[in-house]
Structure 1
Amino acid sequence: MNFLVLFNWASPEPELLLELTTIIKAFLNHPDRSNLSIFIDYDQFPGQEADLYVSGVMMNLMIEGNEQLEDALNISLVSSQNFEEWFNSILKINYKILGNNVNKSQLNEWSDIIPIVTLEQVTDLEKYEFLSTINEQQKNFKLQLTQQCFNAQRFVESAELGKQLLSDYPDLVEKGYSIPVAHSLILSLNWYEVAANLPPGINYFLTSGWLNSLYQRKPVTQDNQPLPWYTYPAIEFLEDKVKPDFKVFEFGAGNSTLWWSQRVSEVISIENDANWFEEIKAKMPKNVQIFLREDEQEYAEMISSFPSDYFDVIIVDGANRNRCLEISLNHIKERGLIIFDNTDDYNYDSSVQKLANEGYKRLDFWGIISSYTYKNCTSLFFRKFDILESQGVPSQKQSILGKGCFQVMNPKPSPTQDN
């Protein structure tokens, strides 16, 4: 077991030496000392002086004839001034012990999350036995440490910690924790090195923003522009069909709301999750009206407060979807478009069939989505075939998700090049 020990190095020398002696001696006399390691943090203190203090304590104990010195105690001096060495030490730590008068400023975002124990908990064998077991406190700490590694883009370390967590705590597999571990494994690959070995601009995982979305855990492009959580093929198709005067109603608010707001005149969005509503409402521009309806029936009926045949686009991508679709049919224009996400879920088969019975044609867009490794199906429903009219040729397509392979490798010459 590994302990990070912090002292107030500004303490008077006699007090500091007494503290060092007490802690080191306690570990030396511990019956499980061969399985213990101490990492002494000397941050904001000269390393040579810290080493002299520790060496002096060990020398004094030797002079006193402390027989336990015959068995080595693993003591390391660490400081965030040498961050990589310090960081690699932190990954091994289980608990921290705080000396007298240690203040909050001595802790950083990494050392702050390490569980605190007292020296008495280490020396009391019954309490020590609990510390040495796989316990909930260690589980929560390692989960937090893994997340901080991920946030800091230390994906290799995040993946290794995650794999160890899954081994130590099998219940995490049932809770779906293996998915973020898989994401860390994907991101731990040097994708920029991969891209460097490909023709510039054709690594779709980078240019589409998929890797960035995996890291950010939300649908965004490579340069952090918002995206709907539809399949990528559906987004690429819709880009050319959206018109500035469109009025849009959306069941389920989020980054998709922002994406639509940048392209149409009016967006009405309804959300049923109060916490998510509070998080996103301040981000919405003036052409968005966003409403909270936590009751699922009220949520579905919200669209009824708008006139018939009012919306050019209705998106069904939130709660109570089958009921939302049923009520929406009176509010879509004759030439309007209904977007129904996740139609690969059999729970929505009744809505797909209802739209077919109402004379709607369907286009299914299967493909990968932002932030995840799997594919979904986003379906578009329409009665008039205007939506299928092509604008321009594929070689001139401009997409927020990047260029196609031949657009990059064999671009059309500009008029000046022709001359």
Structure 2
Amino acid sequence: MCSDSRVIPLLTNTFINWFETQHWKDKSLLELGSGSSTLFFAKYFKEVCSLETNQDWFTRLSEVLPLNVEYKKVDIIMDGLNSADINSYDAILLDCGENRANIAKVLAERSYDGIIFFDNSEWYRHSIKILNSSGFFEIPFFGVKPVENWVSCTSVLAKESNLNEITNSNWEKLPEFAGYHPRNAWDIVDG
């Protein structure tokens, strides 16, 4: 949480800055592992389905979730993933404490064709290679995270058919603290 009580996820600042520029309001997210990210993404996505394994955390977070979040307690994330219609989700956040190579394998085998947000991707290079081999391109966002003082990576993975969607230059908004110069003389063609 920020000092002004805004909830922010424990994802890299560079990822968050990019994420906030894109349009998500008509999209759905499957979140593998919940937390402050659930509250954050609920403000941007039309629908969020979040899978959680920790009963105490599930109970605590259940009390504060908005109506556009479907929250599911599962014994293991893989069970919830296997029962989900993954291709009905526009994006998947992979940020859970389970074997991510196995999760990547399921996403590849089930031909998931949406966008993947993969936290701590610097720790899971084999998992990334599994997704690369099924047609995903990785865009790494290295940076620091809230409450951490070291560099991590939150990657966005997308297939070629989705690259235009995630590189939209018609931004929803600028990230907080970004400077904006609507009449920049160096951004106007002379003549």
User: Per the shorter chain, which TM-score range?
Assistant: 0.7 to 0.9
1:361 corresponds, among 137, 145, 151, to 137
Rounded Cα–Cα distance in structure 1 between residues aligned with 2:64 and 2:152: 27
Deviation at 1:311, TM superposition (A): 0.8
1:273 aligns to 2:48 (yes or no): no
Deviation at 1:307, TM superposition (A): 2.4
Deviation at 1:265, TM superposition (A): 1.4
Match of 1:376 in 2: 152
Deviation at 1:340, TM superposition (A): 0.7
Match of 1:341 in 2: 119
Give 3-state SS (helix, strand or coil) of 2:131's partner: helix
Deviation at 1:221, TM superposition (A): 2.9
Report 1:248-259 matches (<5 A).
248-259=29-40
Match of 2:9 in 1: 228
Give 3-state SS (helix, strand or coil) of 1:229's partner: coil
2:92 corresponds, among 314, 336, 339, to 314
Deviation at 1:326, TM superposition (A): 2.4
Rounded Cα–Cα distance in structure 2 between residues aligned with 1:250 and 1:397: 23
How big is each residue's C-alpha offset from its partner over 1:219-253, in whole Å with a ceiling of 9 and x where there is no partner? x2342111121100001111122421111100110
Match of 2:170 in 1: 391
Q: 1:365 to 1:403 in 2, by over 3 A?
A: same
How big is each residue's C-alpha offset from its partner over 1:193-241, in whole Å with a ceiling of 9 and x where there is no partner? xxxxxxxxxxxxxxxxxxxxxxxxxxx2342111121100001111122
Is the 1:261–1:267 contact (alpha carbons within 8 Å) kept by the matching residues of 2? Answer: yes
Deviation at 1:269, TM superposition (A): 0.5
Runs (5+) with no aligned partner, structure 2: 184-191
Match of 2:73 in 1: 292
Give 3-state SS (helix, strand or coil) of 1:379's partner: strand
Q: 1:243 to 1:256 in 2, by over 3 A?
A: same
Is the 1:306–1:331 contact (alpha carbons within 8 Å) kept by the matching residues of 2? Answer: no
Is the 1:269–1:288 contact (alpha carbons within 8 Å) kept by the matching residues of 2? Answer: yes
Output the amino acid matched with 1:243.
Answer: W
Rounded Cα–Cα distance in structure 2 between residues aligned with 1:341 and 1:256: 11
Q: 1:229 to 1:308 in 2, by over 3 A?
A: closer
Give 3-state SS (helix, strand or coil) of 2:63's partner: helix
Deviation at 1:397, TM superposition (A): 4.9
User: Which structure is larger by alpha-carbon Rg, 1 or 2?
Assistant: 1
Match of 2:41 in 1: 260
Number of residue pairs the alignment of both structures matches: 178
Task: Supply the RMSD in Å over aligned alpha carbons.
Answer: 2.0
Report 1:325-340 matches (<5 A).
325-329=104-108, 330=110, 332=112, 334=113, 336-340=114-118
How big is each residue's C-alpha offset from its partner over 1:65-117, in whole Å with a ceiling of 9 and x where there is no partner? xxxxxxxxxxxxxxxxxxxxxxxxxxxxxxxxxxxxxxxxxxxxxxxxxxxxx
How big is each residue's C-alpha offset from its partner over 1:152-176, in whole Å with a ceiling of 9 and x where there is no partner? xxxxxxxxxxxxxxxxxxxxxxxxx
Give identity over the alignment, percent: 24
Rounded Cα–Cα distance in structure 2 between residues aligned with 1:244 and 1:374: 32
